[in-house]
């Protein structure tokens, strides 16, 4: 959810920079006036960043494991699918004769 909000914010910021800057400045000002709100959002953003960091680590581990394994890649699987389809067609043609 936070990712979506940030994405929308950046998109809007790119399309209307002055409004974006004004809104962000207002949010920062609000957080300075209410430390509890600032702390809440800081924790949310920190958790989001930690989650993304963990996702990145997991992707690297998985990519590394797959690179050193005998798991076929997408192209090999597609080649096998085509070969099976061709064999199926050949068998069907023989049956039809």
Q: What is the pLDDT of residues 63-90, one digit of tens each?
A: 888 777 777 778 888 999 999 999 999 9
The distance in angstroms from the start CA to the end CA of the chain is: 60
Mean pLDDT, residues 3-21? 63
Tell me how far apart the alpha carbons of residues 14 and 26 are, in angstroms, rounded to a whole number: 18
66 in a domain, yes or no?
yes
76 in a domain, yes or no?
no
81 in a domain, yes or no?
no
Is this prediction's pTM over 0.75? no
9 in a domain, yes or no?
yes
If one counts the domains in the chain, the total is 1
62 in a domain, yes or no?
yes
User: What is the span of the domain harbouring residue 28?
Assistant: 2-71
Q: How confident is the model at residue 64, as a pLDDT?
A: 84
Q: What is the pLDDT of residues 36-70, one digit of tens each?
A: 877 777 778 778 888 888 888 888 888 888 777 77
22 in a domain, yes or no?
yes
Q: Are 38 and 31 in contact (CB under 8 A)?
A: yes
Whether 17 has a pLDDT exceeding 70, the answer reads no
86 in a domain, yes or no?
no
24 in a domain, yes or no?
yes
Tell me how far apart the alpha carbons of residues 64 and 82 are, in angstroms, rounded to a whole number: 28
Contacts of residue 80, defined as CB under 8 A and 6 or more positions apart, other chains included, come to 72
Q: How confident is the model at residue 63, as a pLDDT?
A: 83
Tell me how far apart the alpha carbons of residues 38 and 22 are, in angstroms, rounded to a whole number: 18
Whether 34 has a pLDDT exceeding 80, the answer reads no
Neighbours of 97 (CB within 10 A): 4
């Amino acid at each position: 959810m936070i990712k979506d909000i940030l994405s929308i914010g950046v998109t809007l910021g790119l399309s209307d920079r002055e409004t974006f800057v004004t809104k962000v400045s207002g949010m920062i000002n609000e957080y300075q006036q209410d430390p509890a709100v600032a702390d809440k959002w800081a924790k949310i953003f920190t958790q989001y960043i930690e989650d993304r960091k963990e996702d990145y680590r997991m992707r690297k581990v998985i990519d590394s494991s797959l690179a050193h394994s005998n798991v076929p890649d997408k192209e090999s699987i597609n080649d096998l699918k085509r070969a099976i389809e061709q064999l199926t067609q050949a068998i069907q043609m023989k049956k039809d004769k």
